[in-house]
Amino acid sequence: QKEVEQNSGPLSVPEGAIASLNCTYSDRGSQSFFWYRQYSGKSPELIMSIYSNGDKEDGRFTAQLNKASQYVSLLIRDSQPSDSATYLCAVPQRTDKLIFGTGTRLQVFP
Amino acid sequence: EPEVTQTPSHQVTQMGQEVILRCVPISNHLYFYWYRQILGQKVEFLVSFYNNEISEKSEIFDDQFSVERPDGSNFTLKIRSTKLEDSAMYFCATQPRDRPNYGYTFGSGTRLTVV
């Protein structure tokens, strides 16, 4: 079984700070990587996808991928209390089912 | 923005009863999935469905589970004889026909409580 690992947190950051969320994966052949945000009691919402090594920016979010280290991260700049949620890293297997990490709970305090 | 619609939002059932969870996929999506999330745990894959048949199923998806697309629009998950450990959030997810992976769109989920 391929694994996706995340620190469960909580990660607490003050409003306006950068939140850094990390994820490692075991399948060296993985080609695409997703970050989902999940508010308590709600469904996962896709916020970022990344396919190539390096950085991908979308608004306040930046995804970073390092395939050699099997590491993908999500940076949230200018963190807001509304960013408080659990962030799920997800990696598709070759059959396209998603393998999720346990998620990192982010708390942004005013 | 197109949505994946799931009904009911919450279902309470007695152990041993059958439940049917329903999903209306986004109209041009052809790949369908069910996932579940037990409270406080990971989101787990159950089954994928394409072209009116199961593409893949997990170890969780045993003989008490079944899926179908009875009328070309709804996509259903049936649990024949519910157990206490089936209590979880069940999410339907879909992908458009032109893969590769864009990432799924998840429905809002059904919270199943087995008592």
Amino acid identity for residue A106 in this structure: L
**pLDDT tens-digit series, residues A63-100:** 999 999 999 999 999 999 999 999 999 998 877 789 99
Over 70: is that where the pLDDT of A19 sits? Answer: yes
Handedness of CA B49, B83, B60, A1 (dihedral sign): positive
Q: What DSSP letter does each residue of A41-72 carry, written as one string? A: TS--EEEEEE-SSEEEEETTEEEEEETTTTEE
Contact by Cβ (8 Å): A9, A89: no
Predicted local distance difference test score (pLDDT) of residue B73: 82
* End-to-end CA separation in angstroms for chain B: 36
Per-residue pLDDT of chain B (115 residues; tens, 9 = 90+): 778 999 999 999 999 999 999 999 988 888 899 999 999 999 999 999 988 899 999 999 999 999 998 887 899 999 999 999 999 999 999 987 665 556 788 999 999 999 9
Nearest to A90 by CA among A9, A23, A8: A23
Angstrom distances, CA of residue B81 to CA of B13, B78, B86, B88: 10, 9, 10, 15
Residues of B in contact with A46 (CB under 8 A): 103-106
Predicted local distance difference test score (pLDDT) of residue B30: 83
Predicted local distance difference test score (pLDDT) of residue B34: 97
Predicted local distance difference test score (pLDDT) of residue B15: 97
Predicted local distance difference test score (pLDDT) of residue A1: 66
A106 to chain B, minimum CA–CA distance in Å? 15
A77 to chain B, minimum CA–CA distance in Å? 23
**pLDDT tens-digit series, residues A23-43:** 999 988 888 999 999 999 999
Contact by Cβ (8 Å): A5, A70: no
Nearest CB among B99, B105, B107 relative to A96 is that of B99
Contact by Cβ (8 Å): A83, A108: yes
